[in-house]
Chains A and B, each alone.
Chain A
Amino acid sequence: MARAVTQQRKIINTTAAWAVGLLIFFPILWTILTSFKTEAQAIADPPVFLAFDWTLENYGVVMERSNYGRFLWNSIIIAGGSTILGIIIAVPAAWSMAFVPSKRTKDILLWMLSTKMLPAVGVLYPIYLLFIKLGLLDTKIGLMIVLMLINLPIIVWMLYTYFKEIPGEILEAARMDGATLREEVIHILTPMAIPGIASTLLLNVILAWNEAFWTLNLTAAKAAPLTAFIASYSSPEGLFYAKLSAASTMAIAPILILGWFSQKQLVSGLTFGAVK
């Protein structure tokens, strides 16, 4: 009897999980479907779900009009570069906060997180002027630095949480065996925190890939990533929904594929230390 109840609960849970999953995924699914419609079908009322004449025309138009490869390359470099830069800075920072905390460590962590509460537009002009002075406007390196700084609080926080789960005694033992600080961080701490670092890395890539305020405001033609590619198909005066959907699908496809293949690492990293 108890087993039957468990089975029933299992079915309910599974159904509920699928329902929630599909609900969350529906906007993406709808975007993908719309990308295969004509502009007239895209605005049809009532909307058509699957019974329409599937066409690749929108993808053809988008490929002809835009240099997708350049936008994609810029996105890869900017998201990848900012993540690597962030990890390089965040690992030692999180190590010091987790293993040699000071009286103010908690305050510093909270202060770092509080910078995320600042509306980005509030510092647009100072950063824009700095970029002009430093010659960083419309450069990939400029964006890598800005996105790294924006995401650094989250990276440090996540790594700090993972590092806190690692027993300090192991590092102490390494030190007694003569390991230097560098060796301790690179050869002892990092391998043990790989799941946490991997999920932090993936999450940061996703955040940097999707960032649309700074990537639109600090670029022009040379360093513009896929967010600018999508923005070029949006229009308040003219119906371009099918083409916009095709551009959106092309922009999210790489990150969707990356997320799909790395979901195990993401979940294990995000739940690392959640259950003791």
Chain B
Amino acid sequence: MFLRNALRAATALTLVAAGSAAADTITIATVNNGDMIRMQGLTDDFTTKTGHEVEWVTLEENVLRQRVTTDISTKGGAFDIMTIGMYETPIWGANGWLVALDNLSEGYDVDDILPAMAGGLSHEGTLYAAPFYGESSMIMYRTDLMEKAGLEMPDAPTWDFIRQAAAAMTDRDAEINGVCLRGKAGWGEGGAFITAMSNSFGARWFDMDWKPQFDTAAWANTLNFYKGMMDESGPAGYATNGFNENLSLFQQGKCGMWIDATVAASFVTNPNDSTVADKVGFALAPDTGLGKRSNWLWAWALAIPAGTQKQDAALQFIEWATSKDYIELVAANEGWANVPPGARTSLYENPNYQAVPFAQMTLDSILSADPNNSTVEPSPYVGVQFAAIPEFAGIATEVSQEFSAAYAGQQTVEEALEKAQALTIDAMEAAGY
């Protein structure tokens, strides 16, 4: 026993000595949101355990995307860890720009990562980024207004029910809009929402020959339904509303329903910020009975660029930040409602977390989104609310601008779809598809 303890002590001392000797300062590029800010606040725990210091570069999402893309594509080496999403990971992994995360330690329990997340952050079966938190989208609705309208929200409603409920909840005199949805141009804003919604209407971006599909009835149905419902029951100026605008409306009690990212659940149920915190219910994103729901799948994940000189320290940080222990650490400091959601299976088996009101619906939403099989008809791309090809961000931004112009009444839905079809054909031909 003594010998074993002595050996353990010697090993621990060696590890600490080795850690101190090789202490590095790593630079991490990340986005500004609640989970990331909490992680920055807890970095001392990582430094204490490993000896490595951390320097943070926090940027707005779109600025970060441009910044890290420039750096990684030139092998600049400005960052040792980058926060990237499900869109970039498979593309950058295929380009050889990221270090494969195929040597994670046994204690890390890589198999505990939710399969949908691991699948979306891999290329040809190799994991290239570890999910820090994951999200899908779901319905957040006002239970009091639903009751007042004499309706009951099913766990898995259809779009027809949502339209009917939205009309019943709308009260223009009381400034209550039945439904608030993203309409703002941008591939990650209104573009993401309408793409996820189109999946449930049987639409897809491309057929198996990469031919754009905006000239199909499924896309016309999607846009006409969206615009019709929003004109009837949406807020004024919905064509320019994104996540933040709708969050603000919902928190002020001006939306009956809001379909958006599952991470919003912790905002709208926070009594410090939300006037309706105790009147919010959750349901799966709607469908039309075709077999696909309109929820998306996204993860903010940590990846190591191939140009880094501090790969070992970077890997240690990723293991720390995306571990089960880190979740426990956040829970101890900030409560279970504030732990990073949607990344690990074990979190949803934890009774403490099961008590959080939106936990189960978040998991159900994540599990019902499949990035490898997101459309009713077969499609050649990976991704639910995007197609994981380098050209997509540019094309989808332009397409969403056409759609927003249609929502705002500057052109008809038919005109928007015609333009979307034409510009996508041009861009795909130019890209060699």
Contact = CB atoms under 8 A, between A and B. Distances in A.
Interface of A: 39-40, 43-45, 65, 124-125, 128-129, 131-132, 137-138, 216-217, 220-222, 224, 228, 231-240
B48 interface: no
Contact of A39 (B41, B66, B77, B273): B273
5 nearest CB pairs, A to B: A232-B58, A221-B55, A234-B60, A235-B32, A43-B248
B57 A238 contact: no
Interface string B243-276: 1100110011010000001010001000011000
Nearest to A224: B57
B33 A238 contact: yes
Contact of A128 (B76, B252, B254): B76
Interface string B182-217: 000000110000000000000000000000000000
Interface string B57-91: 11111110011001100111111000000000000
A28 to B, nearest CB: 20
B37 A65 contact: yes
Given A220-B29, A238-B32, A232 B59 contact: yes
A132 B247 CA distance: 41
B27 A220 contact: yes
Contacts of B267: 238-239
Given A216-B59, A221-B57, A234 B32 contact: yes
A235 B67 contact: no
A258 B77 CA distance: 37
Given A217-B66, A220-B79, A237-B243, A45 B252 contact: yes
Nearest to A234: B60
A240 B244 CA distance: 9
A236 to B, nearest CB: 5
A129 to B, nearest CB: 6
A67 to B, nearest CB: 10
Contacts, number: 97
B108 interface: no
A224 B254 CA distance: 40
A125 B73 CA distance: 10
Given A236-B62, A238-B33, A217 B70 contact: yes
Contact of B74 (A132, A216, A232, A233): A132
B32 A216 contact: no
Contacts of A138: 78
Given A236-B188, A236-B243, A221 B32 contact: no
15 contacts: A131-B76, A220-B27, A220-B79, A232-B32, A232-B59, A232-B60, A234-B63, A235-B60, A235-B61, A236-B188, A236-B242, A236-B244, A237-B244, A239-B267, A240-B32
B235 to A, nearest CB: 10
B34 interface: yes
Nearest to B75: A132
A258 to B, nearest CB: 26
B40 interface: yes
B244 A239 contact: yes
A239 B273 contact: yes
Nearest to A221: B55
A221 B56 contact: yes
B60 A231 contact: yes
B70 A125 contact: yes
A79 B70 CA distance: 24
A55 to B, nearest CB: 13
A222 B59 CA distance: 15
Interface string B31-53: 11110010011000000000000
B60 A44 contact: no
Contact of B60 (A40, A43, A221, A236): A236
Contacts of B244: 235-239
Contact of A216 (B41, B56, B63, B76): B63
A228 B30 CA distance: 12
Given A221-B55, A233-B32, A40 B61 contact: no
Given A234-B32, A239-B251, 10 more contacts: A128-B71, A132-B77, A138-B78, A228-B57, A234-B60, A236-B242, A237-B33, A237-B263, A238-B34, A238-B247
A144 B200 CA distance: 53
B34 A231 contact: no
B398 to A, nearest CB: 17
Contacts of B76: 128, 131-132, 137
Contacts of A239: 244, 247-248, 251, 267, 273
B247 to A, nearest CB: 6
Nearest to A212: B63
Contact of A137 (B29, B60, B78): B78
B313 to A, nearest CB: 15
Interface in B16-33: 27, 29, 31-33
Contact of A235 (B31, B261, B273): B31
Interface string B305-320: 0000000000000000
Contacts of B33: 235, 237-238
Contacts of B74: 125, 128-129, 132
